[in-house]
Amino acid sequence: MKYPIPFDERELKLKANQMRRDIVESVHAAGSGHPGGSLSATDIMTVLYNAVLRHDSENPEWEDRDRFVLSKAHIAPAYYSILARTGYFDPAELKTLRKMGSFLQGHPKIDIEHGIEIGGGSLGQNLSIAVGMAIGLKKRGKQCRVFDMSSEGELQEGSMWEALMSAAHYKLNNLCIMIDYNRLQIDGPTECVMEVEPLDEKFAAFGWNVITIDGHSITETYEAFKKFNLLSAGHRVPEHDEFDPEKPTAIIGKTIKGKGISFMENQAGWHGRAPTDEELAQALEELNQNQ
């Protein structure tokens, strides 16, 4: 199937809810994984893959596709869910997460057939790859865009800021970084580990357009991507003279780790553990009530 499809807020909310079910069920089946950050990134990824990204699940190597790079690669459960739900493979495969012989390992590997542009694991590396992709597409005269999903925890890596500086220097207006800004990481609150605030001012100082949103608002997220669509095409954004169509764009999504499941929300302990049978049942009951 070819994307993007027309924006429908209600439909996208239902798709995001399905993704959350996929995440907790697949991590439960695996007995391990990263549900917290997967759940916080769900709404942004739902909007991106359905209503913004140009891609075709029936033709994964389509030359004119946009590229998606998952920098915070531990949220593989969210990545695999959105790929399955947009047609790259049977959603039944999601239950094979982290199993021997499965192509759905704990961190993604390059697998164009199943929609995965680049593998990942160690934080701080994949944004540089996204920058290289954006440079290459520009040099080839392609109108394709590159979207990178990252987090504030990853922005504690120095290599990220080298890549951000490079993207501005080369005027990569075809590059968009999305920050899943949930303020929690494996070692606890961001302010206790390594504060990154003021994040918007830092991106601006490094030469980026900056859009800050509620990362769980389907409409706000889509509106932010619409601005990037204009900027990446070299156009100004009406009533936003501060945005420069020659700059890359950062969308900072303020999110909640574990979003959608009451006992997981804002709990650092859910960064990387699987729900028990009882916890899974409660999570699915809560998600089913959101239909």
Domain segments of the chain as ranges: 8-289
pLDDT digits (tens, 9 = 90+) for 151-209: 999 999 999 999 999 999 999 999 999 999 999 999 999 999 999 999 999 999 999 99
What pTM did the predictor assign? 0.98
Distance CA 207, CA 164 (A): 8
Query: Whose structure tokens read 């995001």?
Result: 16
Assess contact for 175 and 248: CB atoms under 8 A. Answer: yes
Q: What is the CATH number of domain 8-289?
A: 3.40.50.970
Distance CA 238, CA 258 (A): 35
Q: Which residues pair with 210 in a beta bridge?
A: 250
What separation in angstroms does the CA of 6 have from each of 3, 9, 222?
Answer: 9, 10, 11
pLDDT digits (tens, 9 = 90+) for 59-118: 999 999 999 999 999 999 999 999 999 999 999 999 999 999 999 999 999 999 999 999
pLDDT digits (tens, 9 = 90+) for 220-255: 999 999 999 999 999 999 999 999 999 999 999 999
Query: Whose structure tokens read 């949930």?
Result: 182
Distance CA 188, CA 130 (A): 28
E strand segments, 134-277:
146-151, 175-181, 184-185, 188-189, 209-214, 249-254
